[in-house]
Amino acid sequence: MKRGIPHIIYTWLIIGLASWQLSLLFPALDLDHGRELLAIVLMGVLAEWLVVSLPHGQLSGGFALILATFLIYGLPATAWVAGLSTMIGQGIVNRGNPVRTTLFNSGQYVLAAAIAALLYDLAGGTPVAKLSVENLVPLAVFVLAYIIINHVLVYFYLLPIRRRFVQATWWDALWLDGITYLFSIPVGLLIAVLYARVGLFSALVLFLAVLAGQFILRFYVRLQAANRELTLFYETAKRLGEGHGPKKLLSLILHNTRRVIFYHSGIAYLWSAERRAYLPVVAVGPYAKQLRYTALCKGEGFIGGVLENRDAEVVFDARVDPRTKDEPGLCQVFRSMLIVPLVAGAETLGVIVLGDKRPMVFDEKDRHVLTVLAAQAGMSIANAMFVKRLQSASTLDSHTGLRNCSHFYEQAKAACEQASIDKYPVSLIIIDIDQFKVFNHRYGRLLGERVLFEMAMLLEGTTRKRDLVGRYGGDEFAVLLPRANDAVALEIAEDLRRAVRSQLFLGEAGKRAVITISMGVATFPRDAGTVDELFGAAQQALEWAKINGRDRVVRCSAPGREF
């Protein structure tokens, strides 16, 4: 889901309201405490530097400073401290966020503080002596209001892209944020209590405990992320071992990757020997439809170079990276890219490309995760392709590349069964090369096998796309003609006979061999009621063609059968 006009209006409305609120509060700001407020801002900046980033927001112990500032100096100082510390802290440590995100984060803290202070006043809170038993309820209202308003504002800001955060729920963020508030609220209260006795600078030493807790929480979140990665590797390896095809395997990789890596759109390419290029197999994300029409060639462009070098690459910002800034295609679609080749041994099977419209989205950790997943996928895809080649070898004739006799028979049987249901004819042509034993004796067995191969290519090139061509055995071939009655079958058979007779075989071997063929034609159900009867009828017709002088087509003369 894209960020549309409503989201832009919402973002700048929050920024505008916060700026307006700060301008209203500035006259009431007590600049006599400027040094103390600057120290609080600097501590807030430090908290922003150590912030824990989550998909649904950020965790920071800065609320201890917000609460302490409100208790000691009031709303004007609180709003300005919240806004400045966030703007400076996130502005320096940007983490790839656009300027509007930094301004929004500053603005939502300001508005949260202002609205919470308003509700504090409505609840009967006192402007002085805020830390009293009588003021407990208004103070609780301030804390709860700040937390709720903060979360609501962030929720609506992230709403357009919330579907991308499948690896973490909103409740995960609330739970971790609750832990942050659990130790930042008491520290904020203690800072306010100690301020009157030891001064602000000494009281701020307590905030170091918040920073330490924030650091531990950051370590915990990273540990959780590492645990998710290990779980992902295990589950992916388990699924990859289930024997799926390449398309399903790559779809699994792209969808599982979303659990640990944020990305806008992703695409997986596989090598196509027919097109001599890497073609898209699976695409996910908002740009999936457009990405399906792309293609890659090894050695062409930046991604083509990655395919050639076989090393994963991270593009932090395609607009400024000298390798990509002037390159068309995907480099103009995405600001950040993660490109990982799919390799198996010495073979480059394909490549996975993850992209995002923001800069600085991917890092070296992401590259490591996707490289491990791609290595798992590469081996599984190579195995799937090997199994497919084995299956092809079991169904194809090794000399001609046509369907072998058993596979051709099974397909003919299935075609006849379907024809019985749908009530249409199926014809069969059995072809025999005339005097092939004499030919082998004259030219030798190797050239004889070459003739069989050239004959196979000629038959496949002359028949219709829907027709099935197979090697029936020895010097015999068979052609199955779905939806062809006896008249059509005779016409196709005559075309084949003339094409073979006019062809000069063994041209590449320096010979000019002329070959003729004899053919028997039978049609289901006119000449046969079963597939076995169909083969028998066509074979009988072939024998009559050979007896009557060869180089001819003979149709079965069995009594007619109709549906």
Q: Residue 335 in 3-state DSSP?
A: coil
Average pLDDT of the chain is 84
**Maximal C-alpha separation, the chain:** 123
Secondary structure percentages of the chain, helix, strand, coil, to 5: 60, 15, 25
How far apart are alpha carbons 95 and 115 in whole angstroms? 28
| CA 489 distance to own-chain centroid | 48
| CA 401 distance to own-chain centroid | 35
How far apart are alpha carbons 171 and 435 in whole angstroms? 81
Q: Which residues contact 547 (CB under 8 A, 6 or more apart)?
A: none
How far apart are alpha carbons 432 and 434 in whole angstroms? 6
Question: Looking at the domain 405-555, which fold is it?
Answer: Alpha-Beta Plaits (3.30.70)
Query: How much is the pLDDT for 94?
Result: 55
Query: How much is the pLDDT for 330?
Result: 84
Q: What are phi and psi of 320, to 5 degrees?
A: -115, -15
> Residue 459's closest CA among 443, 480, 444?
480
pTM: 0.50
> Is 200 within 8 Å of 39 (Cβ atoms)?
yes
| Beta pairing partners, 347 | 344
- Report the b/e string of 241-277 with b at 16+ CB within 10 A: eeebebebbbbbbbebbbbbbbbbbbbbbbbeeeeee
User: In 241-320, which residue ranges form alpha helices assigned H by DSSP?
Assistant: 246-257, 288-291, 301-309
Q: Residue 299 in 3-state DSSP?
A: coil
DSSP annotation string for 425-439: -EEEEEEEETTHHHH
Query: How much is the pLDDT for 234?
Result: 65
Show the tokens assigned to 420. 């019985």
Question: Looking at the domain 246-393, which fold is it?
Answer: Beta-Lactamase (3.30.450)
Low-confidence ranges of the chain (pLDDT < 70): 1-4, 52-59, 93-97, 161-175, 217, 221, 224-226, 228-230, 232-244, 385-394, 558-563
What stretch(es) of the chain map to CATH 3.30.450.40?
Answer: 246-393
SS3 sequence, 123-167? CCCCCCCCCCHHHHHHHHHHHHHHHHHHHHHHHHHHHHHHHHCCC
Q: How many CB atoms lie within 10 A of CB 154?
A: 19
What stretch(es) of the chain map to CATH 3.30.70.270?
Answer: 405-555
Instruction: Give just the sign of the alpha carbon dihedral 398, 400, 405, 406.
Output: positive
